Structure 1
Amino acid sequence: MSIVDDIENFSDMLERSWKEREYNSIKARNIIISGMGGSGIVGLITKKIMEEDGNKIITTWNEYGLPNWADNDCHLICVSYSGNTAETISSAVEAEKRNIEWEAITTGGELNSYASDKEKEVVIIESGHQPRAALPLLLIPVLKKLDIMNIDKQIEDAINACNNIQEYHNNGASAGIAKRMMNKNIHVYGSGCGEVSAYRWKCQIEENAKQKVHWNRLPEFNHNEIVGWENAGENNFVICLRDNDEDENMFKRWEHTQELIWKNTDVFVAKSGTIGESTTTLGKILELIHLGDWISLELAKNNNIEPEPVKVIEELKKRIG
């Protein structure tokens, strides 16, 4: 299945993953989620949801091995769509050395073989997709395992929001936004739920449209990078991903930032809940993510680029071995 088909079926994939099976709950409070690239975004989304609606401590891990402090009070979830991600496999190996309980979510590969050999739980998900387009398949098992408050309501909200984004795309809106981005220096900024979504936009535009993107988050941006915009030059396109229910402090930061440094810059603002009509943490994040997925594909089309191949990543893997 092509990446375009996968993005078009995003909400269907989300609903199917939600309904097709149940999972064993994880009781540990300290959870480490190991994953890279399209699999790694799962940890960031889960961390944000848990900060807003949960009672567990989530650490995202995008390195080899494990953090020095990790011990057998932790529970490790290894997320690798291919099952052959070197960094994620090394996390599993390190967990075995430290007697840390762990499990895997994958389509197969070395991770599945290693987990099966060690008699660890493995969630085998549907194969045949680009890892970055298989987000619902990777995300839903993690969310259901962690007993997040109102998760059924949140998933239903996310499905509805993504359906609304699909309609927004079908009406030509994402193509219009992508047209404004052509041949520009792209900067994506986020706050609240938009912070995670902004990072996903960066990754999707870079992989699908093969165009470099700068990313940051507010309010941290206001304490350093804002000064750099005094000499940022022209030919910039700024994307601001915000929450529609942001508090007064964040509202002021966004509005005054735009007035101070982006008065003469083309700026696109998307607030979660305004297009997709989401109301929950998961819905807000996935609403903005789905919008970014479509815009990245439209930009690839404008750039006359095939979105699926990531040749330099594959070449790097060959060289590393």
Structure 2
Amino acid sequence: MSITNPTPEPTPEDISRGLAELERHLSQQTPAIPPTVRPIEVSGETKRVQRLRAEVTEAHLLADLQDDDAPLLLDTPKVRKRRKAAREASRLHELAQDPAMRAWQAARMQRLLVAAGMVSLTLALAWSTAGVQTFAADGAASWSPSWVFAWLVEPFMSLALLVVVGARAYLGTRGQPIESPTLIRIEWLFLALTLGMNAWPYLPWSLPNGEAFSFSRLVLHILGPIVAVAIVTALPIILAAFTHLDHGAGERSGNPLTGLEYRANTPSNYRAEHTYSSADIDALADRVRQMIAAGQLPADVGAASIRKALRCGMDTARAVRDALAEQAT
């Protein structure tokens, strides 16, 4: 019979050694974490905290940008449109103060007023044709010779009157108004005949028996002659005012020697005030010489180009041209 030795009881060191070997074995058997996988880092901030932090950061940035006035210095499309309109209005106002522009505007308005006055006078005389025909026919039968020729009375008187008024109007626009008492008496004679022939058949003592007097009918028939009288009386006065109109040529800035001959077609009492001396011609010649040196005018500049450059009269331009030729020789 064999005797077996009993298993010795493990000591604490054996137990510790076994646990260490077991941990080492388990660590060797655990698979390694892939390099792409990282553990989640917990910051401790919630979404509410992150949202509030973003709002605070945005507020600080906006506060810094609000102190910059650069956006306020830029012109909006509306501001640019207003600036363009203001600049255009300023240039138009400056152009309107130019003596040449003012003279052109006055001449255009004068032609318009004369044309309107002549048209109104023609219509007024045509209006009175029916009244004059009634007076000249004197109850003649329709389409009889007397009735037909009665229609020609007013036209030939109107044409004669328009000849006189048209001549006075045209010469008035040229600065030579006609103040002949004879022509004025002729005008009033034609107007008085027209007015009398229009009014006579409708006056109370000229009406047939039993026909009542109508004041409105009388006024309606004398309206044409009254308008003609008003036009003939007012037109010479208006033209005389245009003739003495000052366009401010002497108020121009710069050299006072330029732009003083806008009244070249007016009476001599105006031209005498704006004559040029030899010193003035020499000064203008120096200006032309400077323009030639600057390339603004050709070397062989003519009188027409000098007149356009200096805005003076043709006589002055010729004098300046001659002065240049004398100085060149």
TM-score (norm 1): 0.20
TM-score (norm 2): 0.19
Q: Determine which structure has the larger strand proportion and give its number.
A: 1
Q: Which has the higher contact order (CA 8 A, sep 6+)?
A: 1
Q: Determine which structure has the larger helix proportion and give its number.
A: 2
